Structure 1
Amino acid sequence: MAAESDSLDATVADMEKLEKIFAEEAIAEFFDNPTVPREEKTALIDEIAKSSELQPHTVNFLNVVIDNTRASLMPQIVREFETAYNALTGTEEAVVTSVVQLESQDLAQIATHVQNITGAANVRIKTRLDPELIAGFTVQYGRDSSNFIDMSVRKQIAEITSEFEMPSVNLEV
């Protein structure tokens, strides 16, 4: 439906919003709970739709998911939609993990680099934060995020540590 109405980009943005909303386990539990009256669920859907500025067809889809008590499947539904979107648009998805939120120009450079490596028509960047990286960033891309670029300080420390590790010597006489 999104492709037919020429709203693929807006719909994938809606799905990303829903992914963040439904990452909160309590949200899915609320919608999948059969004891919660439909009116309360409708009120929350309306609030989500308004605050997130969702497309009408996304709201209709969300209602179908809720009516069929499938809210707990929303993360998988979003992933499947994104896979279909990426295939339709020749888009490569890259997940950039860093200690702090990177600037948009840094993310644009990473996207260009991934695009050059993969030959994809487009690159969509998703960001995640991980304080254990110490500094720097990692990039996962490719089918099933199978390709990995590690520009983190954690990796550099591990490499230096492995260079200084000496094989154990048996000193028994």
Structure 2
Amino acid sequence: MKQTTVGAEILEPYAEALMSLAQSNNLTGRFGEDVAFILDLLKTSPELQQVLANPFVKPESKKAILRQLVAPQVHDFVLKFLLLLVDRRRIFLLEPICKQFQALLRKLTNTVLAEVTSVVELTEPQRQAVIEKVKTMTGSQQVELETRLDPELIGGVIVKVGSQVLDSSIRGQLRRISNTLTSFT
């Protein structure tokens, strides 16, 4: 998801403030886990996203929902941060703020994000092979995999790291063969 300049100007300070809080309390790992939990919760519950983004839902109702859903799972500082977003009427930016925080955390830990698309869920040995390949490609110490399924690939995988794309899918191979054959005619 690309942010507009205005959106980026608003969300980056919040993500940086959360990172600063995490670093000053030596909780970057814990906050990273909490943010991943929140993003997963938002991903699996579109209704929650709608309620948080709805300006007609009262702030106290939003806070009560957040307390009920995330309080037992996240650090108290993270919960207070979420409540602050509600107070500042920025809770609708929760997902991009969390993603920006993850980007800051990856930068801090020299971790790259590899987006892997495959037809079926990767097995653990396949995941490890992709991680090792990405480490070799990027020279990074750690790799975070974000996987998604696409049955149109037919087989193989597509790995995207930043602007680099490694397409070893059957669909990609067929497209390259088609382009080669077309260039001969």
Tell me which interval the TM-score lies in, with the shorter structure as reference length.
0.7 to 0.9
Q: Is the 8 A contact 2:155 2:169 kept in 1?
A: yes
Counterpart amino acid of residue 52 in structure 2: F
- Name whichever structure is richer in helix by fraction: 2
Unaligned runs of 5+ in 1: 169-173
- Output one character per residue of 1:66-90: Cα deviation in whole Å (capped at 9) or x when no partner: 2222222223212221221122111
Which of 17, 21, 37 pairs up with 2:41? 21
Counterpart CA distance in 1 for 2:106 and 2:34 is 15
Identity, in percent, stands at: 27
- How many aligned residue pairs are there? 164
Q: Which runs of 4+ in 1 moved over 6 A?
A: none
Give the TM-score of the pair, scaled to structure 2. Answer: 0.77
Give the TM-score of the pair, scaled to structure 1. Answer: 0.81
Counterpart CA distance in 1 for 2:160 and 2:108 is 21
Counterpart CA distance in 2 for 1:124 and 1:103 is 15
Deviation at 1:158, TM superposition (A): 0.9
After the TM superposition, which residues 92-171 of structure 1 pair with which residues of structure 2 at under 5 Å, given as runs?
Answer: 92-141=112-161, 145-165=162-182
Could you tell which deviates more after superposition, 16-25 or 110-119?
16-25
Unaligned runs of 5+ in 2: 1-20
State the SS of the aligned residue for 1:36: coil
Q: 1:88 to 1:56 in 2, by over 3 A?
A: same
Could you tell which deviates more after superposition, 155-164 or 16-25?
16-25
